[in-house]
Amino acid sequence: MLKKNLMGCLDYLINSPRLQRLVRWFLLNVFAPVMRLVGYGNHKRRAVLYVGQAYYNSWYLSRNLRELGWIADLLNWDLNPGSQIYYHGEDFRIDYKSPEDVRNFLRFFFQSISRYDVFHFSNKGGLQFGEPMRAAVKTVLGEEGFEIRLLKALGKKIVYSNNGCLDGVSQTAFSRWGPDSVCSICRWQNEPSVCSDEKNLAWGKFRNEVTDYQCLLGGNRVDYNDDPRVHEVPEFYCLDVNLWNPNVDIPASFRLPTYGQPVIHVYHAVGNQVERTRQDGVNIKSTHIYLPLLEKLRAEGIAIELIHPTGIPNKEVRFLQAQADIFLDMLTYGWFGANAREAMMLGKPVICYLRPEWLESMRAERPDYVDELPVISATPHTVEAILRDLIADKGKREAIGRRSREFAVKWHSAEAAGRRFDAIYKELLGIA
């Protein structure tokens, strides 16, 4: 009988927007202050929960913070089996086999409130504790993301890491970046369910309302990224210096074929390639530019082979990366991603377009990073000459590779990330 009555009350709440607004007001203005008084507020403890994966970045950052005396744990709420190949570890995964298991997410949410004072989220749409809980909160309380607003009302510090072009920036604004508009070659340009002005800006508005500090890399400062809470923090996007070791032993199953003559191996990879590539073969990774160029070079008798892996777990793909001579990244986007950071940590030269406006924007906050950046900037119009030069000059490749490793260790190692976020979190918490 009690369960039946409770379900009746829940149904009434779900179907009454006015009551939902009243309950939300009560939770933020009465429940949260009471919870703070009874011990569920911010105690300024050195305790951070990474809520959701960000490739492997949060994993290695959290491990290093532990060495600095922090409680630093990672919750993997991603239920997609196909995504797990990109992750390197987790401390918690919430059991979910049926809709009733949403209670496991709710239980974890309230347990985490009592344990952590900093909550660090990542990726557009990722300010959540998992899809089942996100959907349940929206259904019951009538507002998506309300659980994050409750965290903020409890005095918890909320940190967020940005992950790309649609994260708080309208397609209209992003498409204006030149000289070649990346939106014009994007698979999602005309897919408003993925990317649209309305969707991107709505996310940016919510993101900026609930966060205390945001991490960005690349200087895309328009729309909701033009905000004092948004900072250039390259250290968040970190790697393990020992895992990505230039001298890593290559297992026999990953060794590339040997040839009767010296061969240049170029590496070009596209995560989720099928989903991110148009039917005509065009994608923002510039595959449609690189493939014809490589064919042209081969036709001239240049011994060049493409390493183009798909579906290989990230911990294993490094064995192929370590055998490459040159990495080929995006030629119109304006910045680089995880592939390039991995390449630099392995001591490899990287070709990728670096947008001058973004470099200058980043220079204002992190000038040394920009000055030391060893990535070789190229556009679709200049890449052929740049690639030919690198192919012909082994000494240049090796020199840039050495600089790349030094740069990556300095800026993108887990140790650098730990030092940086030890300071960031302490400042947010107001502790020494």
Least confident of 104-113, 214-223, 228-237, 342-351: 214-223
pTM for the model? 0.95
In sequence order, which residues have a C-beta less than 8 Å from that of residue 18 and are 6 or more positions away? Answer: none
- The answer, yes or no, to whether residue 5 has pLDDT greater than 70, is no
Tokens coding 385:
């000459």
**How many C-beta atoms surround the C-beta of residue 385 within 10 A?**
9
Give pLDDT tens digits for 154-206.
999 999 999 889 999 999 999 999 888 889 999 989 999 999 999 999 999 99
Range with lowest mean pLDDT among 194-208, 212-226, 258-272 = 258-272
Task: Provide, rounded to the nearest whole percent, the portion of the chain with pLDDT above 90.
Answer: 86
Query: 220 near 165, Cβ under 8 Å?
Result: yes
In this structure, are residues 336 and 330 in contact, taking their beta carbons and an 8 Å threshold? yes
Residue 314 CB neighbours (<10 A)? 17
Rg over CA atoms, the chain: 23
Confidence class for position 6, pLDDT limits 50, 70, 90: low
250 within 8 A of 233, measured Cβ to Cβ: no
Q: How far apart, in whole angstroms, are the C-alpha atoms of residue 293 and residue 296?
A: 5
Query: Per-residue pLDDT averaged across 104-111, rounded?
Result: 96
Per-residue model confidence as pLDDT tens digits over 57-66: 999 999 999 9
Q: Are 74 and 58 in contact (CB under 8 A)?
A: yes
Average pLDDT over residues 229-236: 97
| Contact between 170 and 49 (Cβ < 8 Å) | no
**Least confident span in 2-6, 15-19, 240-244, 397-401:** 2-6
The pLDDT value recorded for residue 14 is 84
Nearest to 143 by CA among 53, 5, 27: 27
pLDDT of amino acid 44: 94
